A and B are shown apart, each in its own frame.
Chain A
């Protein structure tokens, strides 16, 4: 890959995320059963099934793609992940200039707009044991590596997300259902940070394959 990302690449990313969530569905639900209401895997899988059904024909532009993904997730996931992941994609679209080349900087800015949207929607901060603990370090790592191109930036982001996910294990949850458990929420990976890591890993895998 020359350093630019096509609509087809982004569609492939969404498909890869769908596949990863399908494969990890039971594990996500198991994690959620430890500290939540045991529906994260099935909810995300259901929402992404509905998303993938709308990717043929391929949306005309990245903005159309992300709007379709976001609107579909907010209305088909059912749980809190719907508005959170939905907002992520709904914010990404407008951040990408229409028709322009998508280089590492542009995609990084769009990812950051998405993460900012999730922060605003969920009102979570770093360390609250949420998906933000994976997403926030990921976009920082992307920015640091962006000059080396999108595939390298995506790999750095995925690695940072995985570290952020792992760091949620000892944390006490301060947002969402898990926060009802107080200290008892410590000792478990956060399901949202786990699925968010799949999202970044899917992007990294997709851009590496396209290179």
Chain B
């Protein structure tokens, strides 16, 4: 049976994803090794550790590697220089969790390396199909039951005081807070006039690149709009705890 390696910036993320995937692995799941986390047990990836995990997972039938993002990919590619048998290692383009689940199931079912790799590679397209029209709706910022008229949305404006603006950490805090409430939250950078984005999308929010001193407008609609705005306003006013 082929082996699998889960490469992530976060050990906790990788272990949880593997745990989830192995729930579907049945009685005889494939060997899955984790190579995750940085040198000080913080977030990061390590090409040498990835190479060791690949060698451990390889029974001779080859290894498929699932990665999260960014340096996980660069480190996995670098690791191929250190493994015993790089010719039977494949790096999967699949999204991490979906890919792991598909890989465990397909490998446990006896698929060879090429079969499992091919199956995993379709994971993103499968998810898009499953979402169907809903995906298009949320992409344009429109809920599946229609847009709440702008007049019904509550909003506030505030100035971002964090020295590095809304970089990864505060952006993640914002997204987490926005997502906790039953409300549609949108945020716009009034400094740049860029298109308003969903307050629940970390990538969209980070892509706005909101900087220190920028005035933002946060809008919310839905049953918990008021509570969501109160929490988000407090977060911004407190500099996301960075001061």
List residues of chain A with CB under 8 Å of any chain B CB.
33-35, 37-38, 43, 46, 50, 71, 74-80, 82-84, 86-87, 90, 121-122, 176-177, 180-182, 184-185
Contacts and interface: CB of A to CB of B under 8 A. Distances in A.
A83 B72 CA distance: 10
Interface of B: 38-40, 42-49, 70-71, 74-75, 77-78, 81, 163-164, 167-168, 192, 203, 206-207, 209
A76 B75 CA distance: 11
Given A74-B48, A74-B75, A75-B49, A50 B167 contact: no
Given A122-B74, A184-B209, A83 B44 contact: no
B227 to A, nearest CB: 30
Nearest to B189: A184
A76 B41 CA distance: 11
Contacts of A185: 209
Contact of B77 (A71, A77, A83, A176): A83
Contacts of B44: 43, 77-79, 82
Given A38-B164, A78-B46, A83 B209 contact: no
Please report whether the interface of chain A is mostly helix, strand, loop or mixed according to DSSP. Answer: helix
A74 B49 CA distance: 10
A26 B229 CA distance: 34
B207 A180 contact: yes
Contacts of B168: 37-38
Contact of B203 (A87, A180, A184): A180
Interface centre among B43, B77, B78, by most A CB within 10 Å? B78
Contact of B74 (A46, A90, A121): A121
A74 B163 CA distance: 30
Given A33-B164, A38-B164, A75 B46 contact: yes
Given A78-B38, A80-B71, A180-B207, A37 B167 contact: yes
Given A38-B167, A75-B47, A121-B78, 14 more contacts: A43-B44, A46-B39, A75-B48, A76-B46, A78-B39, A78-B46, A79-B44, A80-B70, A82-B44, A83-B75, A86-B78, A87-B78, A90-B81, A185-B209
B82 to A, nearest CB: 8
Contacts of B78: 74, 83, 86-87, 121
Nearest to B210: A184
B47 A82 contact: yes
A86 B46 CA distance: 11
